[in-house]
Amino acid sequence: MGRIPLSYLLNRLFTLFLTVFIAATLIWIIPRLSPVNPVDVMLGRMASGGGSVENSGAILAQLTERFGLNDPWYVQFWLYIKNTLTFDFGISTASFPTPVASMIAAALPWTLGLMIVSLIITFIIGNLLGALMVWEHTPRLWKVAIPAAMVFTSIPPILSGLLLMYIFSSQLGWFPLNGAYGLNTEPGWSLDFAGSVLYHGFLPAMSIVVVTFGFWALGMRGLMITVQGEDYTILAKAKGLRKRYILYRYMIRNAILPQITAFALKIGMLVAGQVLVERIFAYNGMGKLLYDAILDQDFPVIQGVSFVIILMTAVAVFLVDLIYPFIDPRIRHGA
Amino acid sequence: MSVLDIKNIHIDFPTSKGVVHAVTDVTLSIEKGRRIGFIGESGSGKTTTALAAMRMLANPGFVAGGEVHLNSLDGDTNVLHLDDEQMRRVRLRKISYIPQGAMNSLNPVMRVDAQIWDAVVAHEGGLSQADLQARSDTALDGVGLDPKVVGRLFPHELSGGMKQRVCIAIGTCLTPDLIIADEPTSALDVITQRHVMQTLREMQEKIGAGLILIGHDMGLMAQSVDDIAVLKKGVLVEFGPVRKIIEDAEHPYTRELIASVPLVGGDSFLSAQASPPKGERLDKPLLELDGVSKQYGAVTALHPMSFALDGEEPKIISIVGQSGSGKSTMGSLMLGFNDPSAGQVRFKGDDINAMSAGAKLAFRKQVQAVFQDPYACFNPFYRVNHALKFPYENFGMGGDVQTAMEEACTAVGLDPSLVLGRYPHQLSGGQRQRLIVARALMLSPKLLIADEPVSMVDASLRATILANIHDLKDKHGISIIYITHDLATAYHVSDYVMVLYHGHVVEAGPPKEVIGDPQHAYTRLLIDSIPWPDLDRDWGDADDARAALDELARIGGTPETVYRGDIPGFTLGQG
């Protein structure tokens, strides 16, 4: 415990950088294995608008030149790495000429807001319910109700989303059907806007919480059963400690440790994992951006979004590595 | 005046196969300031009876009848009538508990002093930080730990003996009327055991509490308690002052328990044998260590050592020492599980770490192992036949597997019809450990490496299992390396003993000399620390135990090996 040693920090930072570099390289290689030529696709899209494109050969050559596709691979790769590391992901081929970075910048806050809030809610509810499934003082009704609620976990999020939409939007009219904020609300730092965002975010967040809390609850249940049988829990009871204190400080405090690692890994998966939820709620986040980009074969956007996902996972793991020794004294930095 | 009166208590455990009567009609009184030992095998109900007084029975057990009176309570003294909150306030303040698992009984994420504070706060309410600090300092000081250092540490930074002393500090910090200590030293080596036990006695005498000491070691009981209660299958079969029980027990079961403790110099539990069959004559030693040492980072687990064992006449070589002495490291080096940092381990002249895959397979067949934990050695998803059959077929032994399994079971004293075809969890620890020996026997090995083979089975079974292992030498001509911390059993089974301390051999020779008449200070200390089931043999007091630890610290450095004689067919090299 104590301060983080510099050598450890540098070591972890190097690993972080290496992970991101290798991932970025893979992102660059994989689309190039695809037989589809993005310039052809762009041209095809223009053609579908006007029937035919004049001078298509010249345009094709010009665009190929413009995107740098005539350069040797190492020049392309070097430019790609240099740009990627400065968050310049190029220009979208589907929404030409919008820069990819600005598209991601517009979508990212929505996803982070929705997903991180729902992940935190799920994490708290799931782990608490999992702990209560094991605790000997949990009221009997709860012990029956919690496993029954696990039924929701087996529903795919897309269905739970539709179900929630049907009940709360369509039938009861309590929540809006889609969008991230009201059409007649001006985006900005106002109470009005914040309220609208929460109002619109509630159903998508709920649809994620309902289907994912079981993941945490079942994991926590297993961990709690182990902790319940540990000698320190038995000694805690023999010490005459209050039962809630034992639950929080002795049982949950020890059982939660592996769950925190899982939490960090989930942060990176947030963006990728809930593509369909954003899709059905027409919520303009990263998931929807990625979904549309795949349909349009918009390589720069796919590359940009993938890179952001990898970066988030790597950074989350890096942070957990740094804070873990502070939450579990048995783990030491650099050990 | 009695502190606790247990009257006609019955404890039942409902299971899917009907109700198990874990404790039947036990009546006992515990006097203030007196120490009572509850002794019996596992499953005898000794822990269950004691925990009933704290109302901490494991699920689904419950008290089916009887009364438990804690006489310091106001009004109704029956603890079975208290509500949950009243019961909580009795725990630790009136009755405290010192658990068995010294390794794991403290919360791993809390500092030691915080684990004393939460106990104090739970019973006395909010105290200032300075008051709490003073309380934990006093408590740790009382058990001989430096509060300034130990209080700020986390449990994983303490040794087993220190952890158990922290548990004693917690158990005595509110000066309870009664302390229940559940095998508090079962995971500790003899030297630490003596220190912890003496600390517990010292604290118990200081606060004048009654003490229930739960255990299965008659020697430890003889040296620690005033009265002994013998339990068998939930029934109190005998109760009386310790001297009466040890010297003149009435119940045959009690006499059996006392007789099952192997003593240094006592009668052997092994049946006398004709000369063992000769092994094959080899040009090269069966097993040879040539300047072998092992280092883990900066720590030297084993200093360079050499010995040669010829397999012509089978022998049992014992390696004894405390935990951390390097004895298990030696075992894993000899099995080739670990590479030595220097030197060579040779089997029939071949370096076992430089063998071809085929030679390695032959080596594995000829060198078998028995480990400490009979629970962890079986795959719980397979019937035990699998563990016996698989290596037999894998090594292409030929012959009928079923016959071989039955013969091997019979050889270790098991009835094949009762154990074969069962799952590991359906068998007792003793049965499992004997099956492990049977499994090794089926491969007709030349050498068996047994690392603490009996430390986890009941005392009454140890002698039987060791006799089985001894039979491997006498009847099957197998040489055995017996790794143990138990000097008394090493005294009886071995032909040659090496005492290991901090990776050095400090004394070596035939057991009658080394253990019967130790010369090295460390060996003497080990022998002195053994609790004897003999009241005329004094175990010393807390100061003696501390002096012993100081002496241990002085021994350090590079101790000289004391050679106490040779036996034919085994040579211990210098360095």
A298-317 tens-digit pLDDT: 888 888 888 888 888 888 88
For residue A269, what are the CA distances in angstroms to A298, A307, B42? 21, 12, 50
Task: Band the pLDDT of B558: cuts 50, 70, 90.
Answer: low
Task: List, in sequence order, every beta strand (DSSP E) within B40-167.
Answer: 62-70, 95-98
Identity of the residue in A232, A240, A249 whose CB atom sits nearest the CB atom of B93: A240
Residue A314 in domain: yes
Report the CATH fold assignment for B287-520+559-572: Rossmann fold (3.40.50)
Judge residue B497's burial from the number of C-beta atoms within 10 Å of its C-beta, 0-12 exposed, 13-18 middle, 19 or more buried. buried
Question: Is A232's CB within 8 Å of B91's CB?
Answer: no
Q: List the structure tokens of B443.
A: 């491969």
Task: Band the pLDDT of B106: cuts 50, 70, 90.
Answer: very high
Give percent of chain A with pLDDT exceeding 70: 91
B196-232 tens-digit pLDDT: 899 999 999 999 999 999 988 888 899 999 999 999 9
pLDDT at position B340 is 92
pLDDT at position A185 is 67
pLDDT at position A87 is 84
Query: Looking at the 3D structure of chain A, how many domains does it have?
Result: 1
Query: Does the beta carbon of A335 lie under 8 angstroms from any beta carbon of chain B?
Result: no
DSSP state of B80: G
Residue A33 in domain: no
Across the A/B interface, how many CB contacts are shorter than 8 Å?
75
Query: Does the beta carbon of B94 lie under 8 angstroms from any beta carbon of chain A?
Result: no
ipTM value, please give it.
0.79
pLDDT at B180 over 90: yes
Query: Does the beta carbon of A318 lie under 8 angstroms from any beta carbon of chain B?
Result: no
Give percent of chain A with pLDDT exceeding 90: 18
pTM, 2 dp:
0.81
pLDDT at position A1 is 45
* CATH (domain of A148): 1.10.3720.10
Residue A322 in domain: yes
Question: Is A241's CB within 8 Å of B93's CB?
Answer: no
pLDDT at A236 over 90: yes
A174-231 tens-digit pLDDT: 877 776 666 666 666 777 777 777 777 888 888 888 888 888 999 999 999 989 988 8
Architecture of the domain spanning B2-105+156-259: 3-Layer(aba) Sandwich (3.40)
Identity of the residue in B88, B105, B119 whose CB atom sits nearest the CB atom of A231: B105
A52-108 tens-digit pLDDT: 667 777 877 887 777 777 778 888 888 888 888 888 888 887 777 888 888 888 888
Of residues B243 and B261, the one with the higher pLDDT is: B243
Residue A63 in domain: no
For the segment B257-284, the average pLDDT, to the nearest whole number, is 73
Residue A204 in domain: yes
Domain boundaries, chain B: 2-105+156-259, 287-520+559-572
Query: Does the beta carbon of A238 lie under 8 angstroms from any beta carbon of chain B?
Result: yes
Query: Does the beta carbon of B153 lie under 8 angstroms from any beta carbon of chain A?
Result: no
Q: Which residue of B has its CA nearest to A329?
A: B109
For the segment B137-148, the average pLDDT, to the nearest whole number, is 91
Q: Calculate the CA dihedral of residues A162, A163, A168, A169 and round it to 10 degrees.
A: 30
Task: Band the pLDDT of A244: cuts 50, 70, 90.
Answer: very high
pLDDT at position A335 is 46
pLDDT at B154 over 70: yes
Task: Band the pLDDT of A51: cuts 50, 70, 90.
Answer: low
Residue A175 in domain: yes
Angle, helices A73-85 vs A6-32, to 10°: value is: 130
- Mean pLDDT rounded to a whole number for chain B: 88
Angle, helices B129-142 vs B112-124, to 10°: value is: 120
Give percent of chain B with pLDDT exceeding 90: 43
Question: Is A249's CB within 8 Å of B118's CB?
Answer: yes
CA distance A309 to A290: 11
pLDDT at B380 over 70: yes
Domain containing A163: what range?
A: 105-327
pLDDT at B274 over 60: no
Judge residue B425's burial from the number of C-beta atoms within 10 Å of its C-beta, 0-12 exposed, 13-18 middle, 19 or more buried. exposed
Kindly list the residues from chain A whose CB atom is less than 8 angstroms away from the CB atom of residue B104.
230-232
Kindly list the residues from chain B whose CB atom is less than 8 angstroms away from the CB atom of residue A235.
97, 99, 105-106, 167, 170
Residue A1 in domain: no
Residue A36 in domain: no
- Hey, how many other C-beta atoms are within 10 angstroms of the C-beta on B167? 27
B333-365 tens-digit pLDDT: 999 998 999 999 999 999 999 989 989 989 999
Question: Is A238's CB within 8 Å of B123's CB?
Answer: no
Residues making up chain A, counted from first to last: 335
CA distance B151 to B132: 12
Task: Band the pLDDT of B271: cuts 50, 70, 90.
Answer: low
Task: Band the pLDDT of B272: cuts 50, 70, 90.
Answer: low
Q: What is the DSSP string of A14-30?
A: HHHHHHHHHHHHHHHHH
Question: Is B99's CB within 8 Å of A234's CB?
Answer: yes
Kindly list the residues from chain A whose CB atom is less than 8 angstroms away from the CB atom of residue B139.
none
